[in-house]
């Protein structure tokens, strides 16, 4: 076997080992209680029962977790981005206490009434595509849960299986059948 060929084999082995399977999650109504309106502050950010434990079942199976959330309330001026970041820091802290961490958080700050149409707001798939590129995500082994059709549409545009769950029903555990 030539050196070059062996080198290529090693590289492809390394890159296949590096590719990640990811559980993509919508945020509001999936991880935290969605009152049917915007979640504007940390005070309003209530993690659903069992959500952290369910996420952990996926991590135990080798999945990374990435949050993909529309936050059009930012464009509307309903809350500042510091509030969104505070919620994400709090959620990350709760996950760390449970023994794992969320790989990344993506949020779209646009609302069509204010910024016009953007490429990131779900049902568009730019947030998911950026994550796929950044983290070398294996889309064939990844999955997305969301409580709205636009979550599923965004996932499927990026080639990821999307599964719609009932609002505020919590994150399904890994061993749940889809
Ligand atoms: Mg939602």
What are the tens digits of pLDDT across the range 62-104? Answer: 999 999 999 999 999 999 999 999 999 999 999 999 999 999 9
Span 49-72, average pLDDT: 97
What are the tens digits of pLDDT across the range 92-146? Answer: 999 999 999 999 999 999 999 999 999 999 999 999 999 999 999 999 999 999 9
Residue 176 lies in a domain: no
Residue 139 lies in a domain: yes
Q: How many domains does the chain have?
A: 1
Residue 37 alpha carbon to ligand 1 centre in Å: 10
Q: What is the per-residue pLDDT for 176?
A: 84
Residue 20 alpha carbon to ligand 1 centre in Å: 24
pTM of the entire predicted model? 0.90
Classify residue 140 by its DSSP letter.
G
Residue 2 lies in a domain: no
- CATH assignment at residue 100: 3.40.50.1000
Cβ neighbour number for residue 119 with a 10 Å cutoff = 11
Residue 173 lies in a domain: no
Residue 11 alpha carbon to ligand 1 centre in Å: 39
Residue 149 alpha carbon to ligand 1 centre in Å: 10
The residue range of the domain holding 91 is 28-164
Instruction: Tell which residue, 103, 88, 107, 95, has the closest CA to residue 55.
Output: 95
Residue 43 lies in a domain: yes
Q: What is the per-residue pLDDT for 7?
A: 73
Residue 171 lies in a domain: no
Classify residue 171 by its DSSP letter.
P
Q: What is the per-residue pLDDT for 50?
A: 96
DSSP H helices in the chain: 3-18, 51-60, 81-97, 112-115, 126-135, 149-157
- Cβ distance 66 to 107 under 8 Å? no
Residue 151 lies in a domain: yes
């Amino acid at each position: 076997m030539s050196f070059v060929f062996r080198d290529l084999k090693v590289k492809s082995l390394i890159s296949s080992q590096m590719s990640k399977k990811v559980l993509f999650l919508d945020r509001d109504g999936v991880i935290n209680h969605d009152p049917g309106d915007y979640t504007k502050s940390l005070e309003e950010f209530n993690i659903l029962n069992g959500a952290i434990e369910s996420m952990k079942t996926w991590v135990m199976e080798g999945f990374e977790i990435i949050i993909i959330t529309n936050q059009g309330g930012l464009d509307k001026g309903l809350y500042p981005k510091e509030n969104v970041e505070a919620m994400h820091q709090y959620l990350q802290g709760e996950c760390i206490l449970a023994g794992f961490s969320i790989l990344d958080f993506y949020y779209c700050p646009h609302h069509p009434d204010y910024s016009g149409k953007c490429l990131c707001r779900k049902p568009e798939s730019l947030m998911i595509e950026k994550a796929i590129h950044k983290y070398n995500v294996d889309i064939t082994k990844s999955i997305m849960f969301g409580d709205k059709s636009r979550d599923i549409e965004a996932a499927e545009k990026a080639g990821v299986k999307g599964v719609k769950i009932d609002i505020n029903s919590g994150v399904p555990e890994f061993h749940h059948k889809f």
